[in-house]
Structure 1
Amino acid sequence: MNKPPTWFYVVAALALLWNLAGCTAFVADLQLTPEDLARLPEAQQALYRERPLWALVATGIAVIGGALGCICLLLRKRWATGLLIASLLGVLAQDVGLFVMMDHLKAASGVAPLLQGVVLLVAIGLVPLAGYANARGWTT
């Protein structure tokens, strides 16, 4: 097994922090009470009311799979690839859920679609990074 360069560890660590932030947001989302939701603008309340359960599950798969995949990258484990693919699929399913509710999403915030685009790009980028690490012999 070859030792990866420093940049690999830096990228994997930053990606882990990114995914841990996603996990934190996901847990905070799950802990919203009806009182918390009532304080949100009506457009955001509509997003929460109409969000399908599968979209919430997809978000969990995306952030938890991404965090575990990045941990595996840092530990130089080959199964990081599978976890990061699962995370990417979760992001794609989450995006379908958001686009189904696009009218509410536009009303909620102009930043949300931009942030979701960044989430998608990071998830896409991590899959080839894991494949590259596997191909270079950096993982076992």
Structure 2
Amino acid sequence: MSNTTKPPIWFWVVSSVALVWNLMGVFNYLNQAYNQEAILESLTQAQREVFEGIPAWATAAFAIAVFSGAIASIALFLRKKWAKPLFVVSLVAAVAQFIHWLFISNAVEAFGSSTYLLPILVVVIGLFLVFFSKKGIQKGWLN
């Protein structure tokens, strides 16, 4: 038997924001995967070369990050503790993707120093969601 406690209202607020955040990631992935021509037309030549040079493993990491994050967010609503390992998978995949984007490709040179902002934000939010789900398990909100 598992002992669950009713979560506070702010749990549902954070879970809602997490779901919206991760669905935005899914939308961005799908846009990148299925709208490449429009994206490429909006880029400079240097940016286009970076975008076209993204290897399959980095694209796969992007997909794993956003879809596991979205499923983990749904798990929060279902109050399931398997949200935590999915958030961990999402975070690890995002870090792998950003290692390529920031340190292997020429993205920083092509897009500028602001290229660091989104990866930092994604990793911070990812760490928070892992911590949040861990606390949910400890408090008995997730079973």
With normalisation by structure 1, the TM-score equals: 0.91
Aligned to 1:138: 141
In 2: Cα distance, 1:110 partner to 1:24 partner = 24
SS of the residue 2:106 aligns to = helix
Unpaired stretches in structure 2, ≥5 consecutive residues: none
Question: Where do residues 54-69 of structure 1 align in structure 2 (5 Å cutoff)?
Answer: 54-69=57-72
Equivalent position of 1:70 in the other structure: 73
The whole-number CA distance in structure 2 between the counterparts of 1:12 and 1:102 is 34
Give the match for residue 43 of structure 1: 46
- Cα deviation code 1:43-96 (max 9, x no counterpart): 221112211111100011111111110110111001001110110111110111
Change over 3 Å in CA distance of 1:4–1:124 after alignment to 2: same
Which residue in 2 is equivalent to 1:116? 119
Alignment RMSD = 1.6
Residue 98 of structure 1 corresponds to 101
Distance 1:66 1:60 in 2: 10
Q: 2:3 aligned with 1:4, yes or no?
A: no
Q: Conserved in 2, the CA contact under 8 Å of 1:66 and 1:84?
A: yes
Instruction: State whether residues 46 and 104 of structure 1, in contact with CA within 8 Å, keep that contact through their aligned partners in structure 2.
Output: no
TM-score (norm 2): 0.90
Unaligned runs of 5+ in 1: none
* Cα distance in structure 1, aligned partners of 2:19 and 2:48: 30
Aligned to 2:26: 23
Match of 2:82 in 1: 79
State whether residues 71 and 86 of structure 2, in contact with CA within 8 Å, keep that contact through their aligned partners in structure 1: yes
Instruction: For residue 97 of structure 1, report the CA deviation from its aligned partner.
Output: 1.0
Percent of aligned pairs with the same amino acid? 33
Aligned pair count reads: 140
Give the CA deviation at 1:113.
1.5
**Is the Cα contact below 8 Å between 1:55 and 1:93 reproduced in 2?**
yes
Further displaced range: 34-43 or 9-18: 34-43
Distance, in Å, in 1 between the alignment partners of 2:97 and 2:61 is 5
Q: Deviations over 1:18-65 (max 9, x none)?
A: 110010010000013446524421122111221111110001111111
